[in-house]
Amino acid sequence: MARTTDGEGTPVPQRLLATATRLFAEQGYDRTSVQEIVEKAGVTKGALYHYFGSKEDLLQEVYARVLRVQQERLDAFAGSGEPIEDRLRGAAADVVVTTIDNLDDAAIFFRSMHHLSPEKHKQVRSERRRYHERFRALVEEGQRSGVFSSATPADLVVDYHFGSVHHLSTWYRPDGPLTKQQVADHLADLLLRALRP
Amino acid sequence: MARTTDGEGTPVPQRLLATATRLFAEQGYDRTSVQEIVEKAGVTKGALYHYFGSKEDLLQEVYARVLRVQQERLDAFAGSGEPIEDRLRGAAADVVVTTIDNLDDAAIFFRSMHHLSPEKHKQVRSERRRYHERFRALVEEGQRSGVFSSATPADLVVDYHFGSVHHLSTWYRPDGPLTKQQVADHLADLLLRALRP
Amino acid sequence: MARTTDGEGTPVPQRLLATATRLFAEQGYDRTSVQEIVEKAGVTKGALYHYFGSKEDLLQEVYARVLRVQQERLDAFAGSGEPIEDRLRGAAADVVVTTIDNLDDAAIFFRSMHHLSPEKHKQVRSERRRYHERFRALVEEGQRSGVFSSATPADLVVDYHFGSVHHLSTWYRPDGPLTKQQVADHLADLLLRALRP
Amino acid sequence: MARTTDGEGTPVPQRLLATATRLFAEQGYDRTSVQEIVEKAGVTKGALYHYFGSKEDLLQEVYARVLRVQQERLDAFAGSGEPIEDRLRGAAADVVVTTIDNLDDAAIFFRSMHHLSPEKHKQVRSERRRYHERFRALVEEGQRSGVFSSATPADLVVDYHFGSVHHLSTWYRPDGPLTKQQVADHLADLLLRALRP
DNA sequence: TATGAATGAGCTTTCATTCAT
DNA sequence: TATGAATGAAAGCTCATTCAT
């Protein structure tokens, strides 16, 4: 009996995660009650606590998903055999597109990280740092080979770019004048232009 | 006897505002209880509600202060008679220094805005937009006169830069390798380099 | 094991309602704290809010119960085939007995109605008006058929009687010289005597 | 310098009492805050506490005023040399008119009495009883002389009438179909008719 | 696998009153 | 006479979590 009525086709855990993600993004983690999540997901509190140990676990799942996807995509771009300029441009644009595709995740990511318990917080930050370092490695590679200017420390360059990515959830609107691909190309272009020797 | 006995000489409202700012930045607005604020400020709850109508009013005061300062500083830079390149560079670096000088305010600004009631939220966003537009006008002026490249819409350029400013509270540490002035110069430089024709 | 361990065998919601009714009658709605209700009922605040949406909901429940009972009893008397004089006397005496049987409810009814939110207040008043109109119809029937004097508008007659019913909770004491049935007979008698042509 | 601007001509204590009376009647004693009273009266809290020892004192003043007036008026009617029938009818009608003239006082009187401290409550009740007894004496005088029926104990008769007086604030509207004098005559008439032998 | 009653600590806010000036 | 800052207790309500079934 494969049901599709009322979103009940999706398994309970996924449904909970999707609902929680949306609500966390819309209202913030603290403003979203467990009661609200289960009501909107059409299940009961007992069910939620059957699948997730706590409200915080839901939040961490969101992070885990985001981190996994971003790491994989960056690895793909960084590992291609193309010239460094193309690899950096590709990665820089891709993280914009992916972020726009998951604006909710992004909003949560940058706004609610401090709601995690210290240990989980530390773990997420360390994974995030790994991602950041791999990105920085691309910049440094270009600087060493003289393709990029070395006027600015690579660290700062990366933070400059990720600042703008972080900022997307604040201003990007799907019905705005630019498609996500256009935004991505523009932002990647700004990065590359700033790095011209 | 010009000072009250308990702890500080600073007047109660200021003391409350300073304490609240620090706590909001450290723990987030929702995670900070009124009880905690008054305890750390060394007053009672009644005193807080004597001066501020609600917890939210404290948050709004933080915003009002930040917006006022930033608007004034930008006006000073934009209105100087210098060449457009210098005016934009000056303003871009100054907002970085000012932000670092008030990292707590900045952290609150970008993380807690959505905790304001809809009407106050709207008001802050509209003041913020005015600031953004004045900044954009500088970029457009340079683009029109050919000093800056027109490859990227001015809007996007401004969001790119403010993304990095916004991001500062995430990574900047006073005891890091770079002084705030060095960071400011680097970030302004990245902006100007990206705008080279 | 058909009973819970703590104190009473009665289900929690009923226990809460009974306790609240008694306290509201004794001290008034505003003077009765939720804390006091749950303590006297032997449950926790969380339990109360599990069953009732708010303190006001408890009050409305009291009203709903009273209105239902009174309406039913009046219908029974009004619908009997007896002469109008007997029907009015029966109803007039019965409302006195019922009121004395539930003096707490009555005290709350007339003293705390204005504590309800406007919409609930309106709803209770409209149900109350229906009851009042059915009673008035009895008086009018007797006036039309000449059994009762028409010197006084039926409306006023009804208010005159219900004023005394309302007043019962102020002076009636179970250990006083008159039984509730005697009081009821006397008050009904006064009404009928006043209506003699 | 006799001011009349802005209601400031009236002395502060009177202004406070009038404002408090209105607010107590409209919202109930507990729902009316001292802050609200002083704001609406155009003075400060310090001023209120200069003239009145506490919020409760304001309430007691309302009672004192009502009791004094009613007692005086009843004495006047009872002491006239007229036939008992006319004296009772006069007093019964007069209490209705006076009550309608001060509906706010009446509403407070019957609704907020239990907000007084036990000792003040007791004092008010005892004064109220004196009033009640003087009224009852009129009924008994008529019963002894055979002008009124003795079918109903005089006590009950008095409660019957005062129940309707008490009830006035619930239903009487100045813009209704009957003038206060008409209502008073009708209610006195009902009482006298019920007492016909 | 799921329910939902119940907990208990914590939240923001209100308020009558006091007191130095 | 009057001010208004400050107090401190108590109010109504929310919520993540547990647990017997």
Q: Which nucleotide, over all strands, has the C1' atom closest to the CA of C50?
A: E5
Q: What mean pLDDT is reported for chain A?
A: 90
Token pair 């370092």: residue: A133
Residue A108 (CA) to nucleotide E2 (C1'), in angstroms, measures 29
Residues lower than pLDDT 70 in chain C: 1-8
Q: What is the pLDDT of residues A143-177, one digit of tens each?
A: 999 999 999 999 999 999 999 999 999 899 999 99
Distance from CA of B153 to the nearest CA of A (A): 9
The tens digit of pLDDT for each residue in D2-47 reads 333 345 568 888 899 999 999 999 888 999 999 999 999 989 998 9
> Touching check for C196 and chain D: CB below 8 Å?
yes
Q: How confident is the model at residue A6 (pLDDT cuts 50, 70, 90)?
A: very low
> What's the rounded Cα separation, in Å, for the pair B139 and B194?
12
pTM, two decimals, is: 0.84
Tokens of A56: 């915080």
User: What contacts B93, CB < 8 A, 6 or more positions away?
Assistant: B181, B184, B185, B187, B188
CA B164 remoteness from chain centre:
13
How many residues are there in chain C?
197
Contact between A160 and B157 using a beta-carbon 8 Å cutoff: no
Q: Which of A30, A151, A167 sits opposite B163 (nearest CB)?
A: A167
- Identify whether the C-beta of residue B98 lies closer than 8 Å to the C-beta of residue B188: no
User: What is the rounded distance in angstroms from the CA atom of residue B95 to the CA atom of residue C165?
Assistant: 75
Q: Which nucleotide is nearest to D11 (CA to C1')?
A: F1
Tokens of residue A63, six digits: 């992070």
Q: Which one, of B145, B107, B102, B123, lies nearest residue B57 by Cα?
A: B123
**Interchain contact, A30 vs B30, CB within 8 Å:** yes
Q: State the virtual CA torsion across B43, B46, B49, B55 in degrees, nearest 10.
A: 70
* Torsion D168-D169-D174-D180 (CA) sign: positive
Domain D55-195 falls under CATH 3.40.50.300: no
- CB C52 under 7 Å to nucleic chain F: no
Evaluate if the CB of C117 falls below 7 Å from strand F: no
Residue D72 CA: distances (Å) to CA of C101, D66, D76, D131, D134: 37, 10, 6, 10, 11
Angle between helices B180-194 and A154-171 (to 10 degrees): 70
* Stretch(es) of chain B classified as CATH 1.10.10.60: 10-53
Question: Which chain A residues are Cβ-neighbours of B186 within 8 angstroms?
Answer: 152-153, 156
Interface C-D, measured as beta-carbon pairs within 8 A, has a size of: 88
* Mean local confidence (pLDDT), D59-82: 91
Contact B99, B109 (CB under 8 A): no
Q: How far is CA B157 from the centre of its chain?
A: 19
Task: Please give the full DSSP string across D140-153, using - where no structure is assigned.
Answer: HHHHHTTSS--SS-
A196–B193 C-beta distance less than 8 A:
yes
DSSP sequence for B24-76: HHHH-TTTS-HHHHHHHHTS-HHHHHHH-SSHHHHHHHHHHHHHHHHHHHHHH
Write the CATH number of the domain with boundaries B10-53. 1.10.10.60
Closest partner CB to A167 (pick from B31, B162, B178): B162
Chain A, chain B: beta-carbon pairs less than 8 Å apart: 89
Residues D173, B141: Cα–Cα separation, whole Å: 71
Task: Spell out the per-residue pLDDT of chain B, length 197, in tens.
Answer: 333 334 457 888 899 999 999 999 989 899 999 999 999 998 999 899 999 999 999 999 988 888 899 999 999 999 998 999 999 999 999 999 999 999 999 888 888 888 888 888 898 899 999 999 999 999 999 999 999 999 999 999 999 999 999 999 989 999 999 999 999 999 999 999 999 99
Enumerate the CATH 1.10.357.10 domain ranges in chain B, comma separated: 55-195
Contact C59, C29 (CB under 8 A): yes
Confidence of residue A112 (pLDDT cuts 50, 70, 90): confident
Scanning D11-50 for CB atoms below 8 A from C yields: 28, 30-31
Alpha-carbon distance of A116 to C14, in angstroms, equals 41
Local confidence band at A7 (pLDDT 50, 70, 90 cut-offs) = low
